[in-house]
């Protein structure tokens, strides 16, 4: 198993984690703005919410009755196509579903060797913006976290996006910024030095 992990998973771990983080960040926003209904409506094409029923594209007819129990939703990098359910008589049912948020693939700038894109990232404010984006943040949240104006936070986010360190998705009239795999890797490398 360790050899399989080293070959098939480890080289892609940052990308997988970035996708999961983007998914979790978007769903956290849904819960805050529209409650559980928002998450259920936004689970992607494989799942459709028709209150009070969550419909999945299974090849066979199947009902999962909650009977007052919760439903644990798990976005999975390894779930393709139809969602998968697990149920137990004693535990809450589990629904694994395919990830719907794909961080934008950012091509590295051609002049990466010159250090020009990284030089644009130097500075306390951009480092603060990058740290704030780690859990997903809107532009106004970035501005509050770093202590700058919204327009300044937007400019910092744009520079980080051009450098391939974050991605931006429009959500409910605001911009939600999340890390790319490269941004997450840079932040992980940078964090131990801060201690």
The whole-angstrom separation of Cα 30 and Cα 21 is: 14
Phi-psi region of 50 (alpha: psi -120 to 50; beta: other; left: phi over 0): beta
- CA-based nearest residue to 178, from 120, 110, 99: 99
- CA-based nearest residue to 154, from 173, 139, 134: 139
Which residue stretches of the chain have pLDDT < 50? 103-119, 191-195
Query: What pLDDT shows up at residue 190?
Result: 54
Query: What pLDDT shows up at residue 107?
Result: 34
Q: Report CA-CA distances (Å) from 111 to 114, 115, 159.
A: 6, 7, 15
Query: What pLDDT shows up at residue 158?
Result: 93
pTM of the model: 0.54
Q: Report CA-CA distances (Å) from 126 to 5, 14, 180.
A: 34, 21, 15
Bridge partners, residue 170, by sequence: 175
Query: What pLDDT shows up at residue 157?
Result: 93
Asked whether the beta carbons of 92 and 70 are under 8 A apart, the reply is yes
Q: Which residues contact 155 (CB under 8 A, 6 or more apart)?
A: none
Query: What pLDDT shows up at residue 104?
Result: 42
Query: What pLDDT shows up at residue 151?
Result: 93
The whole-angstrom separation of Cα 33 and Cα 14 is: 29
């Amino acid at each position: 198993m360790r050899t399989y992990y080293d070959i098939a998973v480890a080289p892609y771990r940052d990308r997988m984690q970035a996708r999961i983080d983007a998914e979790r960040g978007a769903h956290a926003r849904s819960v805050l703005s529209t409650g559980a209904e928002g998450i259920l409506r936004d689970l992607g094409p494989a799942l459709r919410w028709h209150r009070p029923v969550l419909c999945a594209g299974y090849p066979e007819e199947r009902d999962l009755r909650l009977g007052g129990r919760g439903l644990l939703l798990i976005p999975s990098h390894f779930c393709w196509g139809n969602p998968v359910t697990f149920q137990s008589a004693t535990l809450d049912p589990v629904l694994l579903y395919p990830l719907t948020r794909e961080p934008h693939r950012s091509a590295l700038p051609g002049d990466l060797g010159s250090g020009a894109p990284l030089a644009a990232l130097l500075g306390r404010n951009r480092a603060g913006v990058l740290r704030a984006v780690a859990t997903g943040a809107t532009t106004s949240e970035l501005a509050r976290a770093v202590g700058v104006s919204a327009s300044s936070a937007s400019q910092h986010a744009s520079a980080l996006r051009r450098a391939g360190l974050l991605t931006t998705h429009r959500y409910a009239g605001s911009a939600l910024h999340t890390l790319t795999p490269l941004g997450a890797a840079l932040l992980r490398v940078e964090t131990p030095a801060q201690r």
